[in-house]
Amino acid sequence: MLTFTEEIMLLMLDDDGVYRPVRGSAVEYILVGAVLMDLAFAKRIDTDPEQLMVTDPTPTGNSLLDRTLERIADAGENMSPKVWMEVLAREQAADIRQQAMSTLIERGIVEAKDGHFRIFRSIRRYPTIDERIEREAKLRLKDVLLSDDTPDPRDVAMIGLLDACGILEAIFSETEMKRARPRIKQLRMMDLIGREVGSVVTDIEESITMAMAPLTR
């Protein structure tokens, strides 16, 4: 089974293997939020609105997760999930992206190719080799969004992260999203880390808008 982080990376790629557009600077927070989700489901951390704490410092055996677990455990201070995401996004997001993609390549799920766009813009493409895994992930999430069945907690967390960065709109049709929006709102209320990711992204977008306002007058 893919980790949250690996599945997020897979769903961030379009059919041509190019990264989908992501709201503002959201990608760093989405990746960090995915790692925190992985740690939470591994019963290594817990959260409440005021703090994120390590409940078990034992390494998971996954180097990507264990680096973050060690960073939080060694901090020796209580900080909110939102503050931790800001810290980790600054310190680790680039490495998280690189390591998660490397794992997908090593497992034969995607491959790396160099491509070109309009001659002057070189891009790195990651076309999917094993499309079954991506297809199953999308179908699983679609079933959750378009039904009233009790969802798996992992799917609740994944939907919260994908909605925070706007990827849901990229992988589902406009009609499907219109129908699913009340369900998404309901699910988002069930997940703390996903809500905090959305809050951080909103704060950043508002700060950028305020900073640019004098330049547009």
**What pLDDT is recorded for position 181?**
93
**What pLDDT is recorded for position 214?**
58
- Bridge pairing between strands 121-125 and 52-54: unpaired
CB 100 within 8 A of CB 64: yes
Query: Token pair of 98, please?
Result: 């690189």
CA distances from 117 to 13, 92, 113, 126, 127 (A): 16, 29, 13, 14, 15
CB 193 within 8 A of CB 37: yes
**What pLDDT is recorded for position 54?**
93
What is the rounded CA–CA span in Å between residue 8 and residue 104?
Answer: 11
Residue 19: exposed, middle, or buried by beta-carbon count in 10 A (0-12, 13-18, 19+)? middle
Report the candidate in 169, 144, 171, 174 with the shortest Cα–Cα distance to residue 156. 144
119 phi-psi bin (left φ>0, alpha ψ -120 to 50, beta other):
left
What is the rounded CA–CA span in Å between residue 158 and residue 144?
Answer: 11
What is the rounded CA–CA span in Å between residue 93 and residue 116?
Answer: 26
* 76-91 pLDDT, tens digit each: 777 888 888 889 989 9
Helix ranges (DSSP H) in 19-62 = 26-41
Distance from the first to the final alpha carbon of the chain: 51
- Domain positions in the chain: 4-212
Query: Token pair of 109, please?
Result: 């799920």
* 18-31 pLDDT, tens digit each: 888 776 557 888 88
Is the pLDDT reported for residue 73 higher than 80? Answer: yes
**What pLDDT is recorded for position 210?**
60
Report the share of the chain in percent with pLDDT over 90.
Answer: 22
Quick one: CA torsion of 76, 82, 88, 93, rounded to 10 degrees? 160
Q: Which residue has the higher pLDDT, 122 or 118?
A: 122
**What pLDDT is recorded for position 23?**
63
Report helix, strand or coil for 24: coil
Q: Decide yes or no: CATH 1.10.3630.10 for domain 4-212.
A: yes
* 156-193 pLDDT, tens digit each: 888 888 887 778 888 888 999 999 999 998 888 877 67
